[in-house]
Structure formats: structure tokens, C-alpha cells
Amino acid sequence: MSPTTEGRRPRIVVVGHGMVGHRFVAAAIERGLTETHDVVVYGAEPRAAYDRVALTSFFEVGAEALSFLPGAAYDDPRVALHLGTEVVGLDRATRTLALSDGGTTTYDELVLATGAAPFVPPVPGKDLDGCFVYRTIEDLEAIRDAVAPRPDGARRRGIVIGGGLLGLEAANALHQLGAETHVVEMAPRLMPVQLDEVGGATLVRHVEKLGLTVHCGVASTEVLDDGTGRVAGLGLRDAEPIAADVVVFSAGIRPRDALARAAELEVAPRGGVLVDEQLRSVTDPHVWAIGECAAPAGVMYGLVAPGYAMAEIVVDTLLGGTAGAFTGADMSTKLKLLGVDVASFGDAFATTPDALELVFADAVAGLYKKLVVGPAGPAEDGTPREDAYVLLGGVLVGDASAYGLLRPMVASGMLLPDNPEELILPESRGALQLGLPDEAVVCSCNNVSKRDLLDAVDVDGEHACADLATVKTCTSAGTTCGSCVPTVKGIIEDYFASVGKEVDRSLCEHFALTRQELFDVVAVHGYRTFTEVVEAHGTGRGCDICKPTVASVLASQFNGHVLEGETGALQDTNDAYLANIQRNGTYSVVPRIPGGEITPEKLIVIGEVARDFGLYTKITGGQRIDLFGARMEELPAIWTRLVDAGFESGHAYGKSLRTVKSCVGSTWCRYGVQDSVQLAIDLELRYRGLRSPHKLKGGVSGCARECAEARGKDFGVIATEKGWNLYVGGNGGATPRHAELLVGDVDTPTLLRYLDRFLMYYIRTADRLQRTAAWVESLDGGLERVREVVVDDALGLGSELEAAMERHVETYADEWRATLEDPEKLSRFVSFVNAPGTPDPAITFTTERGQIRPVLAGDPAPAAVDLGATIPVGAPR
């Protein structure tokens, strides 16, 4: 395999750092190819590979969120990445490449991953100012600038040439950017490659309802010039021209094979480097081609999944493997275009002999669903089968929820049930999931079969995954496009039902409800006490699980004092004494220090209080100060001092907002672009005291260097030149998670609006003790779903969530101040009810490093005793 390298490490050069080139490098690192080979990558684009499939979301989330390699460098010294450098010449005889910067380089193995370029039909005027294609982030930036409203506020007009999948994406973008949008398609319907006539017509109705204009069966003749070299409109054959400021060409793609052609590598008749099943050029064994620039067996694939498969095969072959072979790919598609679900799979046009079509259409609801079925072949023993059918393909428009189930059925060849129409009728739920054969590939993005899923959930198996989230992590199913998630969920639920394992989501023995259901019950009935809730919806008198949960739900909705009346008896000891219990039964005290900013005077007060009460002090990770060793009965006196000095509760004890950590930001830091401290203070004061399913932490960094580690928080804000990027769902702790970008470049009021919605939506719907990361993961659709609800307001809940937060902000009161003012609440802070002056003799301290430390009852000496192994800890329920 290795060429003559005379003792040096062989050198693989990758041309193109797009989706597939990146996948190749990542696989080379992961599978150890870089242990023996050097890898050098040249990418023509100015930035590292990014998620082109999600290109349109650039307008929402910004470039950074799309990037596959935010630092633009691989974590492997054997990989060199050169961006903004095009390979302009290839000399196969000397294995030398010419570079756009004038340099040259040599290779032992050459991997072409140059992708494809949009096809621009040769119409006159195609190069005028105002003509664009839709392929790169730079294209989108240029389009955004070009369709920005005129100075007088009037909308720009845009035309997309091409009504295929990519054309509709581009049209969607123009529409979202506020332009008046037309789509011109030469074929008689939209998405002619994927949809049949009725499906295409149904899609047109959806698209036009959104205010776009669709012209099908129309050919464009020229782009009109306004006389200054700018676009004025589009001329059409046999129709009036359309006036426009912008024209976007999206009339198909062509493989970028110019380099290969010039080097006399054989290309396929319709373009693309002709390669064998190992993706090796049929002309030169040291040249490989993968992704959209390749044509295995003469066919190019304009989807990313086949490109990824090709990348893996080349890595495997270079490692000396022989198993990998590319023999074609599933071209099924499911996507959401302009908010309309569209899917096409298998033999969508019923071209198989004897194929029959089964159609469900509802013009009013805009639904069109078609199944293509064909007679089943003979049974295994050779006997012909009567009246037995298999699924061959189909088209779904308006509701593609059945896609995840139907697509695997095509490949598997399973027999259809007697009533196959059930599969596409509204409300049908895949009762057939268990009927899928085990080999059926349920997740095509990650090649996960039903058998893999069943292995993962097998209660006696090695994984024994107990829920969807674990199955996703374990098998990767559903982690790419997400279209298979409902089917995956259905399969594991059916499995659990079949083994009689109840997926019991009830809170505890007292409530057969989830936390979210409890939340709703309280909201609907307006309950104010635990007794009301448990008498109406539960049994018994509650426990340490449901009582704090109900207390938290009541607090989130009514924000009363946590120790008021009966509520006081519901609280965990931390909430009950507004402090954090520590191992010897004493408490620690954490005053709020918003954003970690504190005056010297206040710092001195904390020092004095600690000294006067003999407390151990430690700086916390959340940029505040923790005072340990306070006896319960001392808490009021300590807090009197603190409240007098202007401190308030830091809620370190509550399932509520802890801190919003910040860096020093633009006020002091020479890199800072925004005042991160001010925002952190504002956020901490806004959300202080907010009771939630679990603790909440936030962070704000003044620039992309991220010194506040904001992405390790439930919500993290990072300053940009234009505003703020908002990340959600991060945490530290046992399973650290980076927060993911929710929206980019928003101003402060917008940031607050989205954060209000995000936090309230979480509080309403999360399970008890479920942090934001796990909650996001548990939602159908994950982060995308959060974005729909929070940013797009898909549930129409936006204003309600904001109002709920506004109520919280208005009714907030410091719990410690209120406690100090109420003798009834204070009366609980006694060591012994019949001997309030006697401190608990069980609490003793010794000193260590100049401060106190607890001595546990029975500790032989100050040296700590390891308790873990000998103490039976009550089984958690």
C-alpha cells in the first residue's frame, strides 16, 4: 500500500476541506491512520469545514455554530490544515500539486474532496451585479446584504431559478430575510426529482400560502440589466418578465472535477472523478475521490451520507483493510422546507413493473401521501405468494411523520399488513414497529438497525439502556438528522411493553404523575398547598421526593416565601433553613455576590462575620464566598449582620438560580467587546430566587476567549461584535456538557426575551432533578425543538412564558430578610426546643490550616474516616 517513501512517513494530501474532507481527516485520526501517515489538507474556503446541510440556519445561528472545527486546527500534530489555499495544478508523474499561493507540495496519496459547484445555466446577464449562488457562507452573507431593505424601507424582490430541493432552501432564505420571493422552475412541478405531480402540486399550495410566488413550467431567457450592470429582473419565455433586485441560481450542481480533468484522470460522462468501489481513480492508483466530486460507477451522489461512507472506506483501505466497498446509497430524502414536511423514498415514481400506488390526499389540510407497493416475491421455500405485497417507495407531503417507519420497510422487504393504508392515514401510530425485521436499518444516517436498538435496550444485555436518551448516546441513532427518532422511540417503547417493563415516570408512590403533569395540575387548579394537591391527585402524605417537588412547583408559580405556612414542612433541610447542610449537621452560608463583583467594604463585612462566628471560609467556583460551620441556631444572627450590610440570600441551598459567573469584560480587559459584568449582574438579579427542577447556573464572557467558561453553564452568553450569542444546556459536574448555541448576535432585550422563555419552558416541562442538558436531550427534536418554541414561538407560548417570568421578577423578595422579619419563621432556628441556649453537644470542631474543621461523632482523630464502604446508603427510589 505505502508508496516508496524511503524511510519517511507517507504523506496524504486532501484537496478540499468541506463536509466530506473533514470526515476523512476525523476518521483518519480516530482510526489511527495518522499514526503512520502525515495528513495535509488544503481548503479553498477561508474557513474550516462547516455543516453545509444546515447552511440556511446560518442566518439564525451564525457561522460559528455551523463549524465542525471551531479552532480551525485538528488536535493531532500529524495533521496540517491550510485554509484559503486552492490547489490549482496536479502533476501525477511527479506527484506534485501547485497551490494558489504560488507554492507546490508533493503527495504519496492524493484524496480529492472538492465537492460540487452550483450549476449556472448560460443565460445572458448571469454575471450581473445581484446574481448569486447558494453554496457557501460567503454566498449567504452576500445575499443577506443584497436583500437588506431599501433605504426607504421597501422590500427587495428576489428570484430563485430552480424549484428543486436546494432552490426551495434558497427561496426559504430569501423569504426569511424579508424579500418578496419568486421561484422559477422549468419542470411542471416543484422538486421534480423527488415528487410526483400531485405531491409537487400540494407543495406549491403550501409554498404559495406563505406568500411566495411559484412559476412552474417556465424557462428563463435572460437576466435583465438595469443599465448600470445591476440586475433588474428576469426575462421568461412566453411570459411577462419578473422585476427583481436579486437572482439566485439553484439549477443543480456539477462535481468540481476540473483539477482531475486537467490531469487527465478519467471522469464520468455527467461529471465526477470516475472511481472504483474503493473510491480509487480508475486511472491512477494513488488518487482517490470522495464526496460530491466523485462518481463511483459513474454516478455522483449529491447527499452527505454517501460522501461520509466514501470517506470511511478510503481510510479503511489506506489502513490496509479490504472490506470496504461503496456500492450505492439510499437517496431517500426527508426535509422541512418552508415549514412543510416533504419526504421521498425508494421507488417514488412507481417505475417497478406491477407497482401499485396507494394514495391518501386531503387538499384542505394540504396532505398528500403516497405508497408505492409491489407484489412480494416467492416465499423462502419457493412457493409463490398470493396477495402479499411489499413496500417499494413513497412520497409524503405535509406530514412526513411516517417516514422514519416507512423508509426502513422498503429496504427490509417485509410483507405489508392487510391494511397498508393504515400506515399513512392520519393518527396512525406505527403499531407495526415490532413487525420490522431486525435487520431493517432504522437510522440511516448512522446505520443503526432495529437489532442494534433491541440489543441496546435488552434488559438482560450489557447496555440495558432504560430510555431514549441513553439509547441515543449508546447507538448514535437519531443524533444526526433526527428523522428516525419517533421510530426509535416507538421501537424501544414497544419493547419495554413486550417485556412488561413499565416505563414508569411517576414521581413517587404518592403521585402517579410526572413533574410536568404536576406543574400543569397546579396551574390549572390554582392549588396553593401540598395538602390540596395530594388530596386531589395523590395518596398518603408525601415523602422527601414529592414534597420538595411540589414546593418547587408552587414556588415557580406563586413565588411565595418558601417557609410560609405548610410549605415550610415540604422543604429539604437546605431550603428549610435557607442554608446548605454539611456533614456534621452544621450549615454553610453563601451571600449573593451578583456577577462576582464585590466592593472592598462588603468583602470586609464577610470577613468580619466569618471571624466573629468562627466560620471556615472558602471561595466557590461560582465566584462567591462560602462560610462553613454555622450552627443552625446561629444562622439568624449571621444573616442579620449580612442583611444589614446589604447582602441577600445567594440561594446556594435551593434548586434555583445559583450564580451568573462573568469575566471582567470590556471595562478592563483589552480583548473585551461587551460589558460582561453588567450583563451578568442584570441576569443574576433578574433570575435570582427562581425555583426550578434543578439548580441553574449562568455565565457571561466578554469575548470569544470565553474566560467565564459560560458554555459550561445551563445558560451561557458570549459577547460578539454585534451583540450576544446565547448558548444553552451546559453543565459541569459528573457528566460535563458544553452548552449549544441557541441564537447568535442578538441584542440585550432579545437575549432577555429568549432567556425568559427558555428558563420558563424548562421549569414547566422538565422532570424533577433534570438539568437543562438532559432536558434538552429528552425533548423530541432536542435543541431544534427548543429553538422552535423559544425563538420561533412555534407553540405560541412566548408571551405567556415571558409574563410568567415577569411575575417572578416583580414578586421576588429576599428570603432571608423576610425570615428575619417574621418571629414565627425565626422560631424554628433553635438547637433544642426546650433548651434554646444549649448548643448541640454533638457538634465539635478542631482546626486545620488555621481554620475550623468538623469532627464527626466517633472520629478517632482529626484524620478523616472513610465512611463510604461501610455505610449502607438507603436505596434511592
Partner 1 sequence: MTPTTTTGTTTGTPAGTPATGPAAAATTVWTPVCATDRLGRERGVAALVGGRAVAVFRTYDDEWFALDNHCPFARASVLARGIVGTRGDVPFVASPMLKQPFGLRDGVCLDDPDVRVATYPVRVVDGVVEVGTVAGPPPETQGVAAP
Ligand X SMILES: Cc1cc2nc3c(=O)[nH]c(=O)nc-3n(C[C@H](O)[C@H](O)[C@H](O)COP(=O)(O)OP(=O)(O)OC[C@H]3O[C@@H](n4cnc5c(N)ncnc54)[C@H](O)[C@@H]3O)c2cc1C
* Residue ranges that bind ligand SF4, judged by CB under 6 A: 663-665, 669, 671-672, 676, 701-703, 705-707
Shortest separation between residue 92's beta carbon and ligand FES, angstroms: 38
Query: DSSP string of 28-52?
Result: HHHTTGGGT-EEEEEESSSS--B-G
Residues 560-589: x/- map of binding to partner 1 (CB under 8 A)?
------x-xxxxxx--xx---x-xxx----
Subset of 816-875 contacting partner 1 (CB under 8 A): 827-828, 830-835, 838, 840-843, 856-858, 860, 867, 870-875
The DSSP secondary-structure symbol of 303 reads S
Contact 197, 205 (CB under 8 A): no
Which of the choices ligand X, ligand FES, partner 1, none does residue 477 contact, using the CB cut-off of 5 to 8 A by kind?
Answer: ligand FES
The cell numbers describing 303, all together, are: 447527499
Among 11, 12, 13, 15, binds ligand X (CB under 6 A): 15
Alpha-carbon separation of residue 546 from 385, 511, 512, 629 (angstroms): 58, 8, 11, 29
Which of the choices ligand SF4, partner 1, ligand FES, none does residue 706 contact, using the CB cut-off of 5 to 8 A by kind?
Answer: ligand SF4
Q: How far apart are CA 715 and CA 661, in angstroms?
A: 11
Q: How far apart are CA 531 and CA 547, in angstroms?
A: 10
Among 12, 13, 21, 442, binds ligand X (CB under 6 A): 21
Q: Is there binding between residue 543 and partner 1 (CB under 8 A)?
A: yes
Which of the choices ligand X, partner 1, ligand SF4, none does residue 20 contact, using the CB cut-off of 5 to 8 A by kind?
Answer: ligand X
Q: Is 158 left (phi over 0), alpha (psi -120 to 50) or beta?
A: beta
- b/e for 161-182, b at 16 or more Cβ within 10 A? bbbbbbbbbbbbbbbebebbbb
Query: DSSP string of 480-529?
Result: SS-TTHHHHHHHHHHHHHHTT------SBTTBSS-HHHHHHHHHHHT--S
Q: Is there binding between residue 20 and ligand X (CB under 6 A)?
A: yes
Subset of 249-288 contacting ligand X (CB under 6 A): 256, 259
Q: Is there binding between residue 302 and ligand X (CB under 6 A)?
A: yes
Contact 49, 19 (CB under 8 A): yes
Contact 34, 7 (CB under 8 A): no
Which of the choices ligand X, ligand FES, ligand SF4, none does residue 663 contact, using the CB cut-off of 5 to 8 A by kind?
Answer: ligand SF4
Q: Is there binding between residue 162 and ligand X (CB under 6 A)?
A: no
The cell numbers describing 581, all together, are: 447542610
Shortest separation between residue 544's beta carbon and partner 1, angstroms: 4
Q: Is there binding between residue 43 and ligand X (CB under 6 A)?
A: yes
H/E element, 682: helix 676-687
Q: Which CB sits closer to ligand FES, 446 or 552?
A: 446
Shortest separation between residue 63's beta carbon and ligand FES, angstroms: 24
Give bridge partners of residue 855 from the DSSP assignment: 844
For the chain, the helix, strand and coil percentages under 3-state DSSP, each to the nearest 5: 30, 25, 45
Q: Is there binding between residue 292 and ligand X (CB under 6 A)?
A: yes
Shortest separation between residue 448's beta carbon and ligand FES, angstroms: 7
Q: Which residues contact 832 (CB under 8 A, 6 or more apart)?
A: 838, 840
Q: Is there binding between residue 113 and ligand X (CB under 6 A)?
A: yes
Q: How far apart are CA 871 and CA 869, in angstroms?
A: 6
Q: Which residues bind ligand FES (CB under 6 A)?
A: 443-446, 477-484
The cell numbers describing 58, all together, are: 446560518
Q: Which CB sits closer to ligand FES, 26 or 477?
A: 477
Q: Is there binding between residue 313 and ligand X (CB under 6 A)?
A: no
Which of the choices ligand X, partner 1, ligand SF4, none does residue 87 contact, using the CB cut-off of 5 to 8 A by kind?
Answer: ligand X
Query: β-strands 213-216, 844-848: how paired?
Result: unpaired
Q: Which CB sits closer to partner 1, 7 or 841?
A: 841
**Ordered strands of the 333-337 beta sheet:** 333-337, 340-346, 389-397, 367-375, 356-362
Which of the choices ligand SF4, partner 1, ligand FES, none does residue 875 contact, using the CB cut-off of 5 to 8 A by kind?
Answer: partner 1
Closest residue by beta carbon to ligand X: 18
Other C-beta atoms closer than 10 Å to the C-beta of 527 total 22
Which of the choices ligand SF4, ligand FES, ligand X, none does residue 478 contact, using the CB cut-off of 5 to 8 A by kind?
Answer: ligand FES
Size of the site for ligand X (CB under 6 A): 33
- b/e for 137-149, b at 16 or more Cβ within 10 A? bebbeebeebbee
Which of the choices ligand SF4, ligand FES, ligand X, none does residue 45 contact, using the CB cut-off of 5 to 8 A by kind?
Answer: ligand X
Q: Which CB sits closer to partner 1, 802 or 840?
A: 840
Q: How far apart are CA 443 and CA 481, in angstroms?
A: 9
Shortest separation between residue 574's beta carbon and partner 1, angstroms: 8
Q: Which CB sits closer to ligand SF4, 703 or 820?
A: 703
Burial class of residue 870 in the structure, from the number of CB atoms within 10 Å of its CB (0-12 exposed, 13-18 middle, 19+ buried): exposed
Q: Which CB sits closer to ligand X, 24 or 829?
A: 24
Residue ranges that bind partner 1, judged by CB under 8 A = 509-510, 531, 540-544, 546-548, 566, 568-573, 576-577, 581, 583-585, 632, 827-828, 830-835, 838, 840-843, 856-858, 860, 867, 870-876
Residue ranges that bind ligand X, judged by CB under 6 A = 15-21, 42-45, 52-53, 55, 86-87, 113-115, 134-135, 166, 169, 256, 259, 291-292, 302-305, 307, 335
